[in-house]
Structure 1
């Protein structure tokens, strides 16, 4: 009897994946991990941006209230007790520091404008030369070593201006304007990032905010021929006034808020440029480190230039794009840009005049 043998397909059994399949799985996993990390990082940065904006808006609101109280006081009858005694002493200071007796010839309205600027500088300081009395009070606090306030410290001075701003708003009773107290801020808004015993305002990345009380170099950077640079200032100030369409109309960015009538410019013409020597058009800010502690620097922002106090976070990348507020050698006191046009890194900065990342 003939037997028929059924032939069945013999299929090779597989014990695992091929190399190509494994590589595809690994690639997919890496892609998913990278995508997840990007999403998580982006969410984290958005949260930090919002925290930075919230803190800057809060600090700016309190600063604006204090500045309004300051101007209200100077515009009241009480200002005579503050300003009048300083008119003659201001002339003497100018002659002493700058060595020119012609400063005695400046008229009272001009000297009063300068005294008002001095009072503003003293009550809203950003570096050690603005108000040595505040330095002394800050140094006298528990846990603070004498000479710490205004010193560069472990962070090379990044926190200095923010330390001054925090102290002024929470503890300084300047001109009888009461501070708000330290309990107005929480641990996510304030820290001692450099361990010097002095607290400062911070952004969402835990870095110190910077404070410039008259950032006129943003509008007229050194080397730009004195011309208004909206492309530079616009990275930090949104919605700037447009360029006037009429040649007879004065550019709003060429108007000093302390001198809206242009008295300084008129006096400068009358005195053959004497007033101009007090305002900064040089590569560095005048500050005599050997002067007596009771003397303040005579130099001011750029003549006939718009400016408002600037509070700024360097954003995610940490690139500020400005010289530091304590840097008088590079005109950082006046918010001198590190490059003109500004470096690309400034466009994620968050300020009290854009209140959003992007700066545009």
Structure 2
């Protein structure tokens, strides 16, 4: 591969904001919630670069073929790999695409095919466009990808903040993450937070039913969170929805003592008792096994049960099915809340929105 920019190239990043910025020189785009991907094409050579610089190429053969069929002969394009499913994005199906077995990769490529949404042009032919202002890069992207067809798209764009605000409020139902703002004069800065992103943020009261140790030692790494299903007027079963892990190191150490009283006889009648591992650790403690991490097979996902009596308020962005899409952020303990009152009913569920209309946004 011999391009003006060869892999790996780190993508340009965005800093978070609580409200949509307004300015005459700003462009707005929907924020796609998939796998960030920089596509490198040099003739028949294609590489799909990820945010962490590990190639995604082998996991998405159908995207590679679409790139060969539709993108310019020699180019570098920044975008997002997504898996559309009906009227919304299916992030869980996207996660399943990262699989070590070649046969499984090929099967999933047929069952849950991915698409590529382009939103920036980094190089074309022998020319690097990193120093070119975004407004010009966008115009050249539209020209270079004119006539493309699914599963390749160019993301929607507007200069109207009212339209961008409407996108922010309505596109979430299709599985999008928010809105991104870019200056017309913005160069492309790899690994620099030069854009602005506005994401959906909500709060929820959750039951703390366990924790994981931090990789650095005997301090708390993350709290395991649960919500009760509503069933026949009662609380139903406690479902694991994700974790909260946003703690300074000093706070992680303090949590060990705060959680200690709830470890006593925690497995007796624990709603997740079926996950218990009979193997006793050296300290005589029952540890609960988790699934092997899809991203790091050596990561320890075992956990320590707690009596489900504590309630914590967290901040989160959105759900994927019945789980948090991303790690929740600890806000405060809620000693005033009955754990049995922490149900899915409290969650704000976005109105459904047809994904096809998002992809066709001019």
Whether TM-score is above 0.5 comes out as: no
- For the aligned pair, the TM-score class normalised by the smaller chain equals under 0.3
The structure whose Rg is larger is 1
Higher helix share: 1
TM-score (norm 2): 0.21
TM-score (norm 1): 0.22
